[in-house]
Amino acid sequence: MNNPLRLGIAGLGTVGIGVLKILKQQSALLSIRTGREISITAVSAQSRNKDRGISIASFAWEDDPITLATRDDIDVFVELIGGTDGTAKTATEAAIAAGKHVVTANKAMLAIHGQALAEAAEMNKVSLRFEAAVAGGIPVIKALTEGLAGNTINRIMGVMNGSCNYILTRMESAGLTYAEVFAEAKELGYLEADPQLDVGGIDAAHKLAILSTIAFGTRINFDGIELEGIERISIEDIRHSADMGYKIKLLGVSQKTDRGLEQRMMPCLVPDSSPFAQLQGGTNMVAIEGDAVEQIALRGPGAGEGPTASAVLADICDIARGHLMPVFGQPANTLTKSPSAKSVMSAPYYLRMTIDDKPGALAKITTIIGDAGVSIDRMRQYGHANSSAPVLIVTHNCTRTAMDEALSAIKNTDVLGSDPVVLRIEAV
């Protein structure tokens, strides 16, 4: 246990450099806390000569991350390359096969290939750790696998994408349109190279799939998530929600039912008095409900050099201490296959649409909604725009099935000027 723990780090972007900085600055403290020295043997990245603001001259260099992953003189392969497949996955598999522990921040890889990787790691008796893959610096993985191990988890809710939260809060505070704030976020570097991963809810859904597996003992089921991004949220939706005492958040919800596993990642209205509504900018928050602990909330920075590198170091420290546990908190071969289930829990819904400005149009819409068994709580019709009229409807509690039935019928009418925007109102 007193031998140094030797790292091979693949990927020297923002997070990789953050890991190097923490290891340099906190070397003595880490040794005291883990009982052994933690050192870097070799690194790999796309460019060897790039100026990263920190010297890498003392580390061996590997052009090929797969070669790095299988070096005899490393104990832990730190995968910070990213991507669902390709080099990241191949190098991770090679490291596991070579008997190396793996620490990764790659939520996309885990959300798609987590089951197979977990089985391989456990078969080879090595760790596969991924605290940094979900919610940046918030220790939510450790909370689920360790701190709440004595609980049956009932539900998980979370705001888990800082870019989306930035866009929505910036729209509200500055009165800007979605397009304007999207352009701003892109210019500031807040969005992935493929922005759809952020604004389409995909990045956050990857995280929800991982949390669901740990919380409910089920196999990863990313495809089973009801997924909707924030692209259709307008400044009018932001303002209407505020008028009613709500804020819009991209909210993930997961819970196990007798019908299967419910997972949804979509924009929702939350009361402006709720903790979720208070989140600004890139802040993330995950709320966990357990039978013994009731509800706890973890809040903090969801991304960035320091917070994400901090999470990577937490996993490295556990490996240095000799902690070896199942990847998802229980043996991978005991994880159950759970069917996807759509929520049957009733909730009120916010519905915005534009209808043709002609006699009987609004009556036709309200009749359809009533015929689907959906009761209207309040309704507002705003100033006309050309030959159309914006309409806002808030329903009483109803099921999503009933709402979908109403929407299907509405879309088949001849009075609809634009596709409706529908948002669930969550009681959080």
Residue-wise pLDDT for 93-106, tens only, equals: 999 999 999 999 99
Determine the pLDDT at residue 188.
87
* First-to-final CA distance of the chain: 46
* Measured distance CA(270)–CA(424) in Å, rounded: 9
Q: Are 249 and 276 in contact (CB under 8 A)?
A: yes
What is the set of domains in the chain, with CATH numbers? 5-133 (3.40.50.720), 149-300 (3.30.360.10), 349-425 (3.30.70.260)
- The per-residue pLDDT for 24 is 95
* Burial of 236 (C-beta count, 10 Å sphere; 0-12/13-18/19+): middle
Which structure tokens are listed for 290?
A: 């357990």
* Contact between 275 and 254 (Cβ < 8 Å): no
Residue 312 has pLDDT above 90, yes or no: yes
CA torsion, ordered 32, 38, 39, 44, to nearest 10 deg: -140
Would you state the structure tokens that stand for residue 397, as one six-digit string?
A: 């509690």
Neighbours of 223 (CB within 10 A): 12
Strands 101-104 and 76-79: parallel
Distance CA 266, CA 151 (A): 27
Where does the pLDDT of residue 83 fall: very low under 50, low under 70, confident under 90, or very high at 90 and above?
very high
pLDDT band at 192 (very low <50, low <70, confident <90, very high): confident
Compare 45 and 428 and report the one with higher pLDDT.
45
Our measurement of the distance from residue 22's CA atom to the centroid of its chain's CA atoms, rounded to an integer in Å, reads: 25
Q: Is the pLDDT of residue 1 over 60?
A: no
Nearest to 304 by CA among 18, 67, 85: 18
Torsion angle, CA of 410/176/285/290, rounded to 10 degrees?
-20
Triad 190, 194, 197: Cα angle to 5°: 80
What average pLDDT does range 295-324 have in this prediction? Answer: 95
3-state secondary structure of 184: helix
Closest among 392, 395, 413, 415 to 403, alpha carbons compared? 395
Instruction: Give tens-digit pLDDT for 248-260.
Output: 999 999 999 888 9
Type of residue found at 112: I
The encoded tokens of residue 423 equal 């948002």
CB 275 within 8 A of CB 360: no
* pTM of the shown model: 0.94
Confidence of residue 223 (pLDDT cuts 50, 70, 90): very high
Average pLDDT rounded to a whole number, residues 309-333 = 97
Give mean pLDDT, residues 343-356.
89
Instruction: Tell me the pLDDT band of 381, cut-offs 50, 70 and 90.
Output: confident
Name the nearest CA neighbour of 76 among 49, 95, 52.
95
Q: Residues with catalytic annotation?
A: 207
**pLDDT tier at 357 (50, 70, 90 boundaries)?**
confident
- Give the Cβ contact number of residue 147 at 10 Å: 16
Residue 382, Ramachandran bin (φ over 0: left; ψ between -120 and 50: alpha; else beta):
beta
Residue-level length of the chain: 428
